[in-house]
């Protein structure tokens, strides 16, 4: 019954959207000159997503991190001289995407809000309430629609179906600026990736915003092969509880030859498309970990995966077990041990300290 009501509401909203959405034109063309630029800011909001798109005078904020990130996003925008947004998009209703948008919508002038059709959450209810109280139009772009955004074109590709998993209901957007293509996938996981693949859509992109913070459950092999990104941006928090990004995803991206940029290591990442140049802005990067420069002056993380020190510790006799990815260490008796391939067996606290590991909050090993 609830789902039916949701369906009807969405149908009405979609109809309103089609009637009122003159900014949405299927097959939209824009006049593109080499002087035009598109900047895509991948904001460091800890464990969450927030992206700012600026093209000429148009602005779009896609996701706003958690509720506590709202204020810092507003400050970031203010530093850029942005006090109003043409579009605010919540890729899906989870708190780490929609949470920070309520503050933004409440405090800034916003033109249009795009939401996905999915199960409601506290975050989405708060966002809708804030938007409704300010009479900001809310709509759900259906897959296949395209809109002009400055000198770019934005194509809404998904979600193609309703899902049990809210992540798979993420809005999937492809932003094309000249020859450069960005694929933004929210927290889409493999189920929705396969649905997109089945439609034979043009998913090829230069920059992939990696789904679900680099979780192993996203960025499947076939999907990645089809997108074939040169650059992969992962938005994740330092030492987050989920171990994002997962080693499996990093391996797949490395195998695919993508240069990886991570907000947990580099802070906010700004990618600018201008003419035939795609550049990663050094001034936008505040590295928290070592990084290396690659061709064209771009910056890539060294993607550090910890190596076990030369020692005699084994699964049977280790005093501590470290996690290569999350850089947390545990007692061997811990209920939350990492999976085998991510473990580093350690003899002593000296070894723990030499790797800079942090103690697990469940088993609370000595530090």
Of 56-64, 119-127, 182-190, 346-354, the segment contacting Zn ion by CB under 5 A is: 182-190
User: From residue 232 to residue 271, what is the string marking binding to Zn ion with x (rule CB under 5 A)?
Assistant: ----------------------------------------
The whole-angstrom separation of Cα 229 and Cα 256 is 8
- Does residue 187 touch Zn ion according to CB under 5 A? yes
Nearest distance in Å: CB 93, Zn ion: 8
Over the window 46 to 85, marking each residue x when it contacts Zn ion by CB under 5 A and - when it does not, the resulting string is ----------------------------------------
Closer residue to Zn ion in complex, CB, 66/325? 66
Q: According to the binding rule CB under 5 A, does residue 177 interact with Zn ion?
A: no
Backbone angles phi, psi at 100, to 5 degrees: -80, -10
Concatenate the DSSP letters of all residues of 178-224 into one string. TTEEEEE-TT--HHHHHHHHHTT-----SEEE-GGGG-TTSS-HHHH
Nearer to Zn ion, 214 or 365 (CB): 214
Given a contact cutoff of 8 angstroms between Cβ atoms, the answer to whether 235 and 271 are in contact is no
Residue with Cβ nearer Zn ion (55 or 187): 187
Please tell me the count of residues contacting Zn ion according to CB under 5 A.
Answer: 4
Task: Tell me if 69 sits within 8 A of 99, measured CB to CB.
Answer: yes
Position among 36, 43, 65, 94 found at the interface with Zn ion (CB under 5 A): 94
Q: How many helical (H) and strand (E) elements, i.e. helices and strands, does the chain have?
A: 10, 21
- CB-nearer residue toward Zn ion: 151 or 167: 167
Binding mask 264-303 for Zn ion (x = CB under 5 A): ----------------------------------------
Asked if 96 interacts with Zn ion (CB under 5 A), we say yes
Minimum CB separation of residue 95 from Zn ion in Å reads 8
Q: Residue 176 or residue 219: which is nearer to Zn ion going by CB?
A: 219
Q: Which is nearer to Zn ion, 167 or 273 (CB)?
A: 167
Record the tokens describing residue 130, joined without a space: 């804030």
Which of 124, 176 has the CB closer to Zn ion?
124
Residue 44 touching Zn ion (CB under 5 A) = no
State how far the Cα of 223 lies from the Cα of 159, in Å rounded to an integer. 15
10 Å CB burial of residue 242 (0-12, 13-18, 19+) is middle
DSSP state of 295: G
Does residue 167 interact with Zn ion by CB under 5 A? yes
Q: How far apart are CA 39 and CA 95, in angstroms?
A: 25
Is the Cβ–Cβ distance between 56 and 177 less than 8 Å?
no
Piece of 89-97, 110-118, 253-261, 354-362 that binds Zn ion (CB under 5 A):
89-97
Q: Which of these ranges, 31-39, 187-195, 254-262, 347-355, lies near Zn ion under the rule CB under 5 A?
A: 187-195
Q: Which range in 10-18, 64-72, 179-187, 317-325 contacts Zn ion by CB under 5 A?
A: 179-187
Closest alpha carbon to 104 in 55, 157, 64, 148: 64
- For residue 216, give the nearest of 258, 244, 238 by alpha carbon: 244
Distance CA 270, CA 263 (A): 10
d(CA 264, CA 210): 13
State the residues that interact with Zn ion by CB under 5 A: 94, 96, 167, 187
């Amino acid at each position: 019954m609830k789902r039916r009501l949701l369906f009807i509401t969405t149908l009405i909203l979609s109809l309103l959207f089609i009637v009122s959405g003159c900014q949405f034109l299927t097959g939209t063309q824009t006049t593109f000159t080499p002087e035009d630029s598109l900047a895509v800011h991948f904001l460091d909001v800890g464990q969450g997503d927030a992206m700012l798109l600026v093209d000429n005078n148009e602005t779009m904020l896609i996701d706003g991190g958690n509720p506590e990130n709202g204020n810092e996003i507003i400050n970031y925008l203010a530093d850029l001289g942005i006090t109003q947004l043409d579009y605010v998009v919540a890729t899906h209703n989870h708190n780490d995407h929609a949470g920070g948008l309520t503050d933004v919508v409440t405090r800034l002038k916003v033109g249009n809000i795009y939401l996905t059709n999915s199960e409601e959450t506290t975050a989405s209810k708060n966002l809708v309430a804030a938007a409704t109280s300010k009479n900001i139009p809310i709509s759900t772009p259906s897959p296949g629609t395209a809109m002009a955004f400055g000198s770019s074109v934005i194509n809404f590709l998904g979600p193609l179906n309703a899902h049990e998993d809210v992540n798979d209901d993420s809005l999937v957007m492809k932003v094309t600026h000249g020859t450069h293509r960005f694929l933004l996938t929210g927290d889409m996981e493999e189920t929705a990736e396969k649905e997109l693949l089945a439609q034979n859509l043009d998913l090829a992109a230069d920059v992939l915003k990696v789904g679900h913070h680099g979780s192993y459950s996203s960025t499947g092999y076939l999907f990645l092969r089809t997108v074939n990104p040169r650059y992969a941006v992962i938005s994740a928090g330092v030492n987050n509880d989920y171990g994002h990004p997962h080693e499996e995803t990093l391996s797949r991206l490395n195998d695919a030859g993508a240069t990886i940029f991570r907000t947990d290591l580099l802070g906010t990442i700004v990618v600018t498309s201008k003419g035939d140049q795609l550049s990663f802005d050094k001034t936008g990067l505040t590295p928290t970990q070592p990084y290396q420069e690659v061709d064209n002056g771009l910056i890539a993380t060294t993607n550090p995966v910890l190596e076990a020190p030369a020692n005699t510790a084994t699964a049977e006799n280790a005093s501590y077990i470290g996690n290569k990815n999350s850089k947390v260490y545990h007692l061997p008796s811990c209920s939350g041990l990492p999976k085998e391939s991510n473990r580093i067996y350690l003899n002593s606290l000296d070894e723990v300290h030499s790797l800079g590991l942090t103690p697990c909050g469940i088993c609370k090993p000595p530090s």
